Structure 1
Amino acid sequence: VELVVNLTVPAVHAEVSTAIVATGRHVWSEKPIALDLPAARALLDRAAEAGVRVGVAPDTVLGPAVQTARRAVERGDIGTVLSAHTAFQSPGPDAWHPSPEFLFARGAGPLFDMGPYYFTALVTLLGSVTRVSAVRSTGRTVRTIRTGPRAGTSFPVEVPTHVAALACYESGAVSQSVFSFDSPLAREGVVEITGTEGTLVVPDPNRFTGDVRIARGRGADGEPRWEPVPGTGAGEGRGLGVLDLARAVRTGADPVATGDLGYHVLDVLIAVDRAAATGESRQVRSRAGTVPAVPEDRDPYAATL
């Protein structure tokens, strides 16, 4: 065994991943990489000492949807990027999950559970985050499971269930994001990147595929004038990140969803959480560096051994 996939609950991600690298094996971890920055840094340092690699979910940014959007941004299809808007709003996983308690515990909630998808996509498209501000609220301090054999069971809520965040990026762009488990009106997968020449609509960052398109103002009928962006690349399904890491191990190339990217996204999430708690803006000290692009001609089904 050369590479281990860590799909444990968030509270033990860092502990389990650290134990894996201590055996000299590479690790792909579910997000977030850890619950705090010291644990995440210790994991990455241990991995470097052991000469092994760490990859971190989400791997949806390797899919053709985000990669197509990235190429559109880099080509200048929407001009100079100015801002981004993202939204994830739902009633909460207690409505559908038979054992949702861990999603309302420390290390989860809408910010830490869904935030990695959106901020990983934003960092891939806009670059590293430098500063954040945020507000938060908790709609209910007790939730009730509504499905499965434990329906009717109540449990305490340990985290904020609605977070609104503003972020600044090294590129000069800014973003506004909503993460909520308190909305009866579900509105998920909203990612819009606005530039001087149009607004790029990116598919749900919790998915690998989807149509990418650009709004170029309004037509005579008052409706948006849409311009489709031809999709390129192949691959859909959980496991693309593990495959990318395995290929990197074999070839010596840089993987896309690295531990450093996961560390930066965690840094952003913690900064948002602290900004919301204190009412003060927070600087983000880490940087993700340049996130490698997935080659357009990569075949995810090609043999790697």
Structure 2
Amino acid sequence: MGGRSVTGVVSIIGCGFVADLYMRSLQAMDGLTVAGVYDRDPARLKKFCDHWSLTAVGSLEELLDQHPRNGVVLNLTNPSAHFEINSACLAAGCHTYSEKPLAMTVDEAKQLHRQAEKAGLMLASAPCSVLGEAAQTLGHALRNGIAGPARAIYAELDDGFVPQAAYKKWISESGAPWPYEDEFRVGCTLEHAGYYLGWLISWFGSVRTVVAASAETIPDKEGTGPFAPDLSVATLFFENGPMTRLTCSIVAPHDHQIRIIGDDGVLSCKAAWDNSAKVTFAKRMTIRRRLMESPFPKTVKLSQPTHPKVKRWGAAAMNFMLGPEEMLDAINAGRPSRLSNDFALHMTEVTLAMQNAGETTGAQAMTTRCNPMEPMPWAM
């Protein structure tokens, strides 16, 4: 979709902190419009719609009733409401894009998948950075063997010691506070693992086995618990990919690096939340009996224009509308979406396996499957 616009309509449910990031992204796109917006909090709904000049709708039923069936509903509510809202959207005959996670349990996620499949509807889950330039550039490098066959992958999604951060000062553009209690209850793994899981599953397809551990390492967080694990470490065994280690935490110093170790060197990207993050290749060499990767890595670039970019706001420089745009383009073209129903379900199952691993779970066999994702046309 590089260099061209997609025409389509979305409706928005939920006007919290993340909704402003979607609106900033939508303003960078051509041809996308918002049919209506609903939030259960009338004051928050008015403030959000006034800020972005959008049309407020008085009830969920009214929003779903007026939503065009060739459009996409964005479920941007709190995670505890995702299953209920996603199910209502599908029951109303609406293609649905859900903020992560798709649901809070694997059983609920499977119910949603069955519901969508039976109705012939698209059901996608954030994050959509898998469609962004950085992820697609790494995928291009893998397919073209720039580093040789991939033997192992190390990926980090550590966000610093967040409970000591000034998170009460984190306010969205339209005035929504960062929902710290909800974030601590849901957990950093459910919130963030998908940023690299999405990339990995898009390249290699299904994860066969997850061997993980998770724990709450920082007690007494602010707010009402119980709180989810704030650190998880997972080893992923793909059906057709290299052994991968993925770490998520709000404990360790900020580190969003992914390294793909190949026979000929290392592919790297240091910013999962930046669509324009540099992708590099460090060739392996021997100098005076010392084995090392080149200290002067080469930048890997795509030869074509990619997608509209969004300037950095807070911790991220991501276009949150790449996913809904992909779905709308698929609807218009009459083709399957890259963000398939199987992709959303499988990513949810793997994420929940990481989050819920605890100390003694051991190896977990995944019960869902999905195929690798077709690259974007500009990343072939």
If the length of structure 2 is used for normalisation, what is the TM-score? 0.70
Partner residue in 2 for 1:217: 284
Paired amino acid for 1:137: A
Aligned residues: 285
Shift in Å at residue 31 of structure 1? 1.0
Paired amino acid for 1:134: A
After superposition, what is the alpha-carbon deviation per residue over 1:129-183, rounded to whole angstroms, capped at 9, x for unaligned?
A: 1111122222222113xxxxxxxxx543521111111111112411112111122
After superposition, what is the alpha-carbon deviation per residue over 1:201-220, rounded to whole angstroms, capped at 9, x for unaligned?
A: 13523332211111112686
Residues 102, 244 of structure 1: alpha-carbon distance in 2 compared, 3 angstrom cutoff? same
Q: Give the counterpart of 1:171 among 240, 248, 260.
A: 240
Q: Give the counterpart of 1:278 among 360, 363, 366.
A: 360
Paired amino acid for 1:257: L
1:249-288 equivalent positions in 2, closer than 5 A: 249-288=331-370
Q: CA RMSD in A?
A: 2.2
Q: Give the counterpart of 1:100 among 180, 183, 187.
A: 180
Partner residue in 1 for 2:115: 46
Residues 166, 297 of structure 1: alpha-carbon distance in 2 compared, 3 angstrom cutoff? closer
Paired amino acid for 1:207: D
Shift in Å at residue 281 of structure 1? 0.9
Q: Give the counterpart of 1:91 among 161, 166, 187.
A: 161
Does the 8 A contact of 1:142 with 1:157 survive in 2? no
Partner residue in 2 for 1:142: 220
Does the 8 A contact of 1:132 with 1:272 survive in 2? yes
Partner residue in 2 for 1:191: 258
Q: 3-state DSSP class of the match of 2:280?
A: strand
- Following TM superposition, the consecutive aligned residue runs of length 4 or more in structure 1 with deviations greater than 3 angstroms are 154-157, 218-223, 273-277
Q: Give the counterpart of 1:5 among 64, 69, 74.
A: 74
The question of 1:235 aligning with 2:308 is answered yes
Partner residue in 1 for 2:64: none
Partner residue in 2 for 1:303: none
Task: Find the aligned partners of 2:272 and 2:379 in 1 and give their Cα distance.
Answer: 21
Task: Find the aligned partners of 2:221 and 2:285 in 1 and give their Cα distance.
Answer: 43
Does the 8 A contact of 1:33 with 1:259 survive in 2? no
Does the 8 A contact of 1:58 with 1:257 survive in 2? no
Shift in Å at residue 297 of structure 1? 7.7
Q: Give the counterpart of 2:205 among 108, 122, 127.
A: 127
Partner residue in 2 for 1:151: none
Q: 218-227 or 200-209: which moved more? A: 218-227
Does the 8 A contact of 2:330 with 2:336 survive in 1? yes
Q: 3-state DSSP class of the match of 2:323?
A: helix
Does the 8 A contact of 1:65 with 1:208 survive in 2? yes
After superposition, what is the alpha-carbon deviation per residue over 1:246-289, rounded to whole angstroms, capped at 9, x for unaligned?
A: 11111112222222211111111222234434241111121121
Shift in Å at residue 70 of structure 1? 0.5
Task: Find the aligned partners of 2:197 and 2:379 in 1 and give their Cα distance.
Answer: 26
1:287-302 equivalent positions in 2, closer than 5 A: 287-296=369-378
Does the 8 A contact of 2:203 with 2:373 survive in 1? no
Task: Find the aligned partners of 2:215 and 2:118 in 1 and give their Cα distance.
Answer: 41
The question of 1:81 aligning with 2:150 is answered yes
Does the 8 A contact of 1:93 with 1:103 survive in 2? no
Does the 8 A contact of 1:136 with 1:160 survive in 2? yes
Shift in Å at residue 52 of structure 1? 1.9
Task: Find the aligned partners of 1:218 and 1:252 in 2 and give their Cα distance.
Answer: 48
The question of 1:59 aligning with 2:128 is answered yes
Task: Find the aligned partners of 1:111 and 1:201 in 2 and give their Cα distance.
Answer: 22
Residues 254, 190 of structure 1: alpha-carbon distance in 2 compared, 3 angstrom cutoff? same
Paired amino acid for 2:215: S
Does the 8 A contact of 1:33 with 1:266 survive in 2? yes
Paired amino acid for 1:228: T
Residues 15, 176 of structure 1: alpha-carbon distance in 2 compared, 3 angstrom cutoff? same
Q: 3-state DSSP class of the match of 2:367?
A: coil
Task: Find the aligned partners of 1:50 and 1:68 in 2 and give their Cα distance.
Answer: 35
Does the 8 A contact of 2:201 with 2:372 survive in 1? no
Q: Unaligned stretches of 5+ in structure 2?
A: 1-66, 169-178, 310-318
Q: 3-state DSSP class of the match of 1:133?
A: strand
